[in-house]
Each structure stands twice: as C-alpha cells, then as structure tokens.
Chain A
C-alpha cells in the first residue's frame, strides 16, 4: 500500500501554528521596539530591538510587589484547589444518597457566570473580614467545579480492585487518596495546577473589587494602573504584557504533556 505524503498535513499545521502565534509574536516584537501599532505598512521584522522597555516597567511601577502578590495568591489557589478538588472528586466516585443531585447541582452551578455572584461573594468576604487580603483574593477560586470533574474522571479510571486491595491492606480513605489515587493521577494534578494557576494569574475583576490598597494589587491590576501612569505607553505596555504572560507560559510548557493527558483522561473508555 502506498504511503500518503505527510507534507501537506505538516504544511497546514505550520500555517495554523503561525497564525495562532502571530499575536504573541506581535506583542513580543512591539515590546522590543516600541513602534506604533497602527504604523502602516507594519514591519514584520523588529527594527532596532532593545530590552529597555522591560527596564522601564520594572522601575516605573512596583512590579516586584505585584509579582509577589500574584505568586502568593496563585500559590494559595493552587494548593486550595488540590486539596478541595481531590477530596471532592474522590467523594463523587463513591455511592451515597443524593449523589446524582450533588452532580446536578455542580453542573448547574457551572452555568452561573462569576459576575452574577460578585455581590454575594463580596458580602461574604466582608463578613469573614478578608477584604484587601491574599486570602480574600484567593477565596472564590479555592475550588473549581471543572477541576473536581477532572479529578473524578481520573479517579474513576483507577481499577476498583486496586482500591479494594488497598482497603484490605488496612489503608484509610485518606491514605488511599494520598498513596493510591494521587500517584496514579499525575496528569489530573498537572491539569488542575495549570488551569487554576492561569485562572488565578489572569484574574482581574475579583482582585479589583476585593483589594483597596495599592500594595495588595496583583499583576493584571498593575497593568491597568500602569496604563494610567505612563504617557508614552506602547513599548513599555507590551513589555509589561510579556512579563505578565511569562510565568503562565512557563508553567504550561513545563507541564504540557501531563496537561493534555489530564484533559483527555476519562474521555475514552477501554
């Protein structure tokens, strides 16, 4: 049988990749040149590139403070999600009265946009006394339903006989989660870490509402503040955008294999 040539498929993939990466390239190019984004004809190759826009960003706003705030909030969100989603996902693999209703409730909650819950979330945060704090910023993202379902799908893929054997060996439910389920669910963990880290890293609306002092602001809020501080913004603004993007990209690139595997776990049977 004659083999089909692969070059048309590869060419199409390269073209699609180039089209998808073009906005990223344009942001990086503008951050290096500072040229007017409305310039016509646009230059594809950067003209006289330099890194001084990044230096401007570092000194013109408290970038290190914003970075630290973002890292702390993201770390809290990732840890909270791992704890709560793991336990919730494991519980949903069990049979208990009302399980179907709980699943339905979770699914229906996914249909409610976050914007619709901002006022109650704010009032609850105020009652708890966590406004303008790291915990207050992390609280609404500490558990996400989609990640609970990812863990549930991953745990359901673990053979029942393995869990029964562990139970016969005297392991408690917590030990089963820690010693059996989690080591076999690395792709789900990676997916959870990546998704929640990126959601938390890019969160704008909730941190804007819950923070009051400038020292508590995260990077996306800093970006908005930066726009109001800088007069000649183009190059430095794009440099700021690149700096905000880098950690998320780094996490994704480090864990992309597990991420893809985690998203597809449970998608096929057999």
Chain B
C-alpha cells in the first residue's frame, strides 16, 4: 500500500511526525501529572522509620527553600500531593535528630507522579 503523494512529501510528513510525537507526549503528561511524590525512609540498617519528617525543598532563583513537609507512617512511607514542581530536594529527619542526605529530585515534567528511592538516615 502506497501513501498518498502529499503524505510522502518531507515538508508534510516531518511536521506531521513532530505533531504526532508532541501529541503523544502531551497525552502521557496529562495522564501522569497527578502531583504525587512518594517514597519511604529507612535507617542505615534498612529498617523503615516511622514518624520521620520529610521535607521538600523547592528551587528558587539562587537556592533551595522549604516548600512542603510530611511525616512517614508506621511502614516508613511518605507521600506528597499536589506538587506542582519539576525540580527540588528531599530530606528526611528522624525524631532522634538523624538526617538523610538531601536527595536531588528532577522530573521530566511538572507534577509528574514519582516514586523516589528510599531516603536513608545517616547513622546516629
């Protein structure tokens, strides 16, 4: 089966292809832009840490500032919702004062639903 002559013209099919790729990407973004960032906090032995504060830092023009925070549940899991960001940092703080190194988070689009690698608290 041969395509119509107009569609075989590179001035037609290249823009059409670009429009198709853009459309598919926008559809993917629309379906995955729930603004949910979730993960879990563990200690250095790999055990889940309950009641740890997890802070999300948003990037402004020159540095990072606190944007939202939440706490881990009994299984050490945390969840941020309505996160309209595409770049930031995450840090976990245990009730006993231990902290995790800041985890640099970069997303492919704003509000992308993301599952972050576990935040590991530094040994006390």
Interface residues of A (CB under 8 A from B): 50, 52, 55-56, 59, 229-231, 250, 254-255
Check if B86 sits within 8 Å of A255, measured CB to CB.
no
Supplied contacts A55-B86, A59-B110, A231-B62, 14 more A-B pairs, CB within 8 Å: A50-B106, A52-B87, A52-B106, A55-B106, A55-B107, A55-B108, A56-B86, A59-B86, A229-B61, A230-B61, A231-B61, A254-B10, A254-B11, A255-B11
**22 pairs from A and B in contact (CB 8 Å cutoff):** A50-B106, A52-B87, A52-B106, A55-B86, A55-B87, A55-B106, A55-B107, A55-B108, A55-B109, A56-B86, A56-B87, A59-B86, A59-B110, A229-B61, A230-B61, A231-B61, A231-B62, A250-B14, A254-B10, A254-B11, A254-B14, A255-B11
Interface size grouping (class) on chain B: 10 to 19
Number of A-B contacts (CB under 8 A): 22
Chain B nearest CB from A191 CB (Å) reads 14
Interface residues of B (CB under 8 A from A): 10-11, 14, 61-62, 86-87, 106-110
Report A-chain residues with C-beta under 8 Å of the C-beta of B14. Answer: 250, 254
Chain B nearest CB from A74 CB (Å) reads 14
Chain B nearest CB from A34 CB (Å) reads 11
A54's closest neighbor in chain B, by CB?
B108
Report, nearest first, the 7 A-B pairs whose CB atoms are least far apart: A52-B106, A231-B62, A254-B10, A231-B61, A59-B86, A55-B86, A254-B14
Report A-chain residues with C-beta under 8 Å of the C-beta of B109. Answer: 55
B14's closest neighbor in chain A, by CB?
A254
> Whole-angstrom distance between the alpha carbons of A237 and B61 in the complex?
14
Report A-chain residues with C-beta under 8 Å of the C-beta of B110. Answer: 59
A51's closest neighbor in chain B, by CB?
B108
Report B-chain residues with C-beta under 8 Å of the C-beta of A250. Answer: 14
> Whole-angstrom distance between the alpha carbons of A91 and B57 in the complex?
65
> Whole-angstrom distance between the alpha carbons of A250 and B10 in the complex?
11
Report B-chain residues with C-beta under 8 Å of the C-beta of A59. Answer: 86, 110
> Whole-angstrom distance between the alpha carbons of A59 and B85 in the complex?
9
Report A-chain residues with C-beta under 8 Å of the C-beta of B11. Answer: 254-255
Chain B nearest CB from A122 CB (Å) reads 33
> Whole-angstrom distance between the alpha carbons of A113 and B83 in the complex?
51
Report B-chain residues with C-beta under 8 Å of the C-beta of A231. Answer: 61-62
Chain A nearest CB from B91 CB (Å) reads 20
Report B-chain residues with C-beta under 8 Å of the C-beta of A229. Answer: 61
Chain B nearest CB from A162 CB (Å) reads 24
A230's closest neighbor in chain B, by CB?
B61
Chain B nearest CB from A129 CB (Å) reads 33
> Whole-angstrom distance between the alpha carbons of A52 and B107 in the complex?
8
> Whole-angstrom distance between the alpha carbons of A230 and B10 in the complex?
38
Report A-chain residues with C-beta under 8 Å of the C-beta of B106. Answer: 50, 52, 55
> Whole-angstrom distance between the alpha carbons of A229 and B60 in the complex?
11
> Whole-angstrom distance between the alpha carbons of A52 and B59 in the complex?
14
B61's closest neighbor in chain A, by CB?
A231
Report A-chain residues with C-beta under 8 Å of the C-beta of B62. Answer: 231
Report A-chain residues with C-beta under 8 Å of the C-beta of B10. Answer: 254
Chain B nearest CB from A3 CB (Å) reads 35
